[in-house]
Structure formats: structure tokens, C-alpha cells
Amino acid sequence: MRIDAVTLFPGMIDAPLSESIVGRARQEGFLELGFSNPRDFTEDRHRTVDDKPYGGGTGMVMMAEPVYRALKKVGKKGSYVILLTPKGRPFDQKLAQALSKKKHLVFICGHYEGIDERITPLADLELSIGDYVLTGGEPAAVAVIDAVTRLIPGVLRKDDATVNETFTDGLLEAPHYTRPAVWRGKKVPEALVSGNHRLIAEWRRAQAEALTGKARPDLAPERAKPARKRKQILD
Ligand code: SAM
């Protein structure tokens, strides 16, 4: 897969995505990541990419023309263009799966107060990574590219690594444990050390349902076990 990001700050995406599993996926050719910087498409001496908002107000707005030219440089027929914005459709695992099947994604990253609204119709999708405001679209692009890349077949070494995980079947994943079997007096649940695969599967299913009922009953209301009342972190 190829992904390009239209960004004023390529390093904010390139550096974190050079590490760990995504870094390896890039080295091994599963993911080709490129950047197109609107600043390279300016014509004035100061390489200006932003200006004051019409109608007044605080902050600066990214100008349409440099963003447009940067997008044209990387966008081709068949590219799927995503504008990152807190006003967009919330990102989730289902969308990550759908995006992992595309051949070419282009992310447009806003900065400052955002991008001139006339760029919006050039995107196939307006996407948000959550109900909070970031300084720029770059950390959002990192999160989405990471979630998408690990779903590309071959990136995770074990084929089934993404099969039973959180969100894949509407439930949160059961907890994991590793050695030692007793750590500071705390034991690993008996089912997991029983060697009985049916018992382990049942335990995991029951844990997943209970956890989903407690933490995210909205995910699968018909399957999650009802939550016991508990203190909320913001109470
Ligand atoms: N003034 C904008 C508003 O209130 O909607 C916020 C602009 S934000 C400071 C700058 C850029 O960060 C946005 O243009 C967008 O690209 C990116 N951004 C901020 N929060 C985001 C989020 N939750 N999801 C995706 N992108 C986000």
C-alpha cells in the first residue's frame, strides 16, 4: 500500500512511523510512505502558507492554493483522500479494516486554525480520531496510519493476530497474562494454566463479555454482560 500525507510538518509523521512494527513494514515494502509539503508549493519569498481568517478571529488559516498544489502532486486517479478534522466521522476499527484494503491513501493534515474550507470538497472522507482538538492533523494521521498498516496482510507475523482482538467482533479483548504464574502473590487465572483449550476459550469469552459490559456497553449491548455499578473516574 502507498500512503501520502499533505503536511507542513512531515517529521511529526515520519519519525514515529519509523519505529517498531510500522517502521519494519516500511523497510519490508508493505507500506510506502510519502510526504507533500504545501510550503514547497508557495511562490513568495517567505513561503507563506497561512493567513488571517476572513471575518476576524484568532489564529491563522492554511491557504487553499499551497494545499491544493501539494495534494495534486501526490493524488492520482483512484487515490482515496482523507481530510483530518475534529468535525469528521469518528475513526474506528471497521474503518481501519476498510482503509487497509485501499491501494493509495492521501491524508490532508491541517494546522493552526485549520484549512480554508474550499479544500474540503476535494476529500473523499472527513475523519476525526476523537472528540478532542489536536494542534494538527499529524498525530491523527500517525494513529490512523498505524491502525491501518498493522491490518495489511503480512505486516503482523501471525496471520490470526488481529482476529480476536478488541473491537474486531464487537467485544473488548479478554485480559492477557505471561510468566511468572505467580507475580507478587497474584496468580494467573486457573483456566489459562489448565491446558484445556475449550475451558480457555470459554473463560476468554466470559471475560470479554463482562469487560465490555463494564467498560463499553455501547459496543455490543446484546452480548455484553450488564455492568455492576462502579465509580467513574470523573465522579
Ligand atoms: N479550529 C478547528 C476546530 O475548532 O474545529 C481546530 C483546528 S486544529 C487546532 C488544527 C488541525 O488539527 C485541524 O485542521 C485538523 O487537521 C487537526 N485535528 C485536530 N483535532 C483533530 C481530531 N480530533 N481528529 C483529526 N484531526 C484533528
Same-domain pairing of 209 and 101: no
Whether 38 maps to a domain, the answer reads yes
What spacing in Å lies between the alpha carbon of 141 and ligand 1's midpoint? 11
Give me the CATH number covering residue 135. Answer: 3.40.1280.10
Report the share of the chain in percent with pLDDT over 90: 87
| Minimum CA distance residue for ligand 1 atom 21 | 86
Q: Is residue 118 part of a domain?
A: yes
Report whether pLDDT(127) > 50: yes
The answer to whether 60 and 110 have CB atoms below 8 angstroms apart is no
User: By alpha-carbon position, which residue is closest to atom 22 of ligand 1?
Assistant: 86
Same domain, 15 and 115: yes
Is 155 inside a domain boundary?
A: no
| Ligand 1 center–CA 142 separation, angstroms | 14
Do 8 and 121 belong together in one domain?
yes
List the residue whose alpha carbon is closest to atom 23 of ligand 1.
Answer: 86
- Output the CA 10–ligand 1 centroid distance in Å: 17
117 and 213 housed in the same domain: no
CA distance to 56, 139, 178, per residue, from 131 (Å): 25, 14, 34
What is the residue range of 130's domain?
Answer: 2-149
- Tally of CB atoms within 10 A around 170: 17
- Regarding pTM above 0.85, the answer is yes
In a domain, 173, yes or no: no
Considering the domain boundaries, does residue 113 fall inside one? Answer: yes
pLDDT value at position 157? 86
Q: Are residues 16 and 129 in the same domain?
A: yes
Q: How many domains does the chain have?
A: 2
- What's the pLDDT tens digit per position in 34-93? 999 999 999 999 999 999 999 999 999 999 999 999 999 999 999 999 999 999 999 999
Asked if 191 and 143 sit in the same domain, the reply is: no
Element containing residue 190 per DSSP (H, E): helix 190-193
Residue 114 CA, ligand 1 centroid: distance in Å: 6
Segment (H or E) for 146: helix 137-149
Same domain, 198 and 144: no
115 and 222 within one domain: no
Neighbours of 63 (CB within 10 A): 18
Count the Cβ atoms, other than its own, within 10 Å of residue 73: 15
Joined together, the cell numbers standing for residue 99 give 482503509
Residue 223 located in a structural domain: yes
Within a domain: residue 159?
A: no
The residue whose CA is least distant from atom 5 of ligand 1 is 86
10 half-sphere exposure, CB direction, 13 A CA radius: 13
Cell triple for 86: 475534529
Residues 114 and 216 in one domain: no
| Separation of CA 136 and ligand 1 centre (Å) | 6
> Is residue 161 situated within a structural domain?
no
- pLDDT at residue 115 tops 70: yes
Q: What is the pLDDT of residues 81-107, one digit of tens each?
A: 999 999 999 999 999 999 999 999 999
